[in-house]
């Protein structure tokens, strides 16, 4: 297991970035100039009311949609499009139903070049890591929602990116499965040492998993506050019952007057 020493350099640096969508009713400002940094090895969650621009922000960080103003840096280079060094986990698992788990995991490689024995080996190791060692040759329709989401996490990891961007990956799961996935994902993060940005609707999930929680305002979204989560890297379900945990979640919850978030 890696030592969870956060390095002091930014992996992704978002510099006063904004996003305006063109719609039939004219331009819509989804994200107003926003700055934030993802440090190497850090786990950051982004919470905010529905429609505030979380997905937009995450997609801009991943180079999936163009930005309207500002600049995003991935280490020393400007983000202009998708990169192999960033793995994106979509809301809903977005698997290909005609491909087995293993083939779904290998997809990013297949579209780039011929797969090698090592690639296949790596896909199997990843599936093993997420507890799907007996499901390599199963198809998505044979897997539960949680299993499908784990396959899609493996797919994001197959190119061994430095950074994972995840858009509500556990949103579709029931509460119990979700909690299990959180514990499991904490372990995965510690083992792989990836830098992670997680968009979530669940304040509890955000506090449980993160080093830092970023709270966004109503649309047009921007950073309202950043809350450091001082717990050690290894998190267990007992943590959720502790006083500090409760204080942190209620501190974040105060930002949302109405029932925008669960």
Q: Do 109 and 93 touch, CB atoms closer than 8 A?
A: no
CA proximity to 19, closest of 9, 4, 34, 5: 34
Nearer to another protein, 96 or 175 (CB): 96
Ramachandran assignment for 204, one of left (phi > 0), alpha (psi -120 to 50 degrees), beta (any other):
alpha
Which residue stretch of 39-47, 72-80, 109-117, 212-220 sits at the interface with another protein (rule: CB under 8 A)? 109-117
> What is residue 257's three-state secondary structure?
coil
Rule CB under 6 A: say whether 231 interacts with ligand ATP: no
What number of chain residues touch ligand ATP (CB under 6 A)? 13
Partner whose footprint covers residue 33, from ligand ATP, another protein, Mg ion, none (CB < 5 to 8 Å by kind): none
Rule CB under 8 A: say whether 131 interacts with another protein: no
Give the helix/strand (H/E) hosting 10: strand 10-23
Rule CB under 6 A: say whether 30 interacts with ligand ATP: yes
Residue 7 burial by CB count (10 A; 0-12/13-18/19+): exposed, middle or buried? exposed
Q: Closest separation between CB of residue 78 and another protein, Å?
A: 17
Rule CB under 6 A: say whether 53 interacts with ligand ATP: yes
Tell which one of 18, 45, 55, 101 touches Mg ion (CB under 5 A): 55
Q: Closest separation between CB of residue 72 and Mg ion, Å?
A: 18
Which residue stretch of 52-60, 142-150, 205-213, 232-240 sits at the interface with ligand ATP (rule: CB under 6 A)? 52-60
Q: How far is CA 118 from CA 84, 113, 128, 249, in A?
A: 18, 13, 15, 43
CA proximity to 227, closest of 247, 211, 244: 211
Site residues (CB under 8 A) for another protein? 62, 64, 81-82, 84, 88, 90, 92, 94, 96-98, 107-108, 110-112, 139-141
Q: Which residues of the shown chain bind ligand ATP in the complex (CB under 6 A)?
A: 21, 23, 28, 30, 48, 50-56, 219
């Amino acid at each position: 297991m890696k030592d969870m020493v956060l390095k002091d350099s930014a992996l992704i640096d978002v510099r006063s970035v904004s996003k305006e969508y063109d719609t039939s009713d004219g331009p819509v400002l989804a994200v107003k100039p926003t700055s934030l940094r993802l440090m190497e090895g850090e786990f950051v969650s982004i919470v905010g009311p529905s429609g505030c621009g979380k997905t937009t922000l995450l997609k801009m960080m991943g180079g999936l949609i163009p930005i309207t103003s500002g600049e995003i840096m991935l280490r020393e280079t400007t983000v202009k499009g998708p990169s192999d060094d960033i793995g994106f986990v979509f809301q809903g698992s977005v698997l290909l139903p005609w491909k087995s788990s293993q083939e779904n995991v290998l997809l990013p490689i297949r579209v780039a070049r011929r797969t090698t024995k090592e690639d296949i080996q790596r896909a199997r190791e990843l599936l093993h890591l997420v507890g799907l060692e007996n499901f390599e040759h199963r198809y998505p329709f044979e897997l539960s929602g949680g299993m499908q989401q784990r396959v899609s996490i493996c797919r994001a990891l197959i190119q061994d990116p430095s950074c994972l961007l995840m858009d509500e990956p556990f949103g579709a799961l029931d509460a119990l499965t979700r909690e299990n996935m959180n514990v499991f994902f904490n372990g995965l993060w510690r083992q792989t040492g990836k830098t992670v940005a997680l968009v979530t609707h669940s304040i509890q999930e955000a506090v449980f998993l993160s080093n830092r929680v970023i709270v966004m305002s109503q649309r047009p979204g921007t950073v309202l506050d950043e809350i450091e989560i001082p717990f050690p890297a290894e998190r267990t379900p007992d943590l959720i019952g502790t006083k500090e945990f409760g204080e942190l979640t209620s501190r974040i919850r105060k930002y949302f007057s109405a029932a925008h978030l669960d």
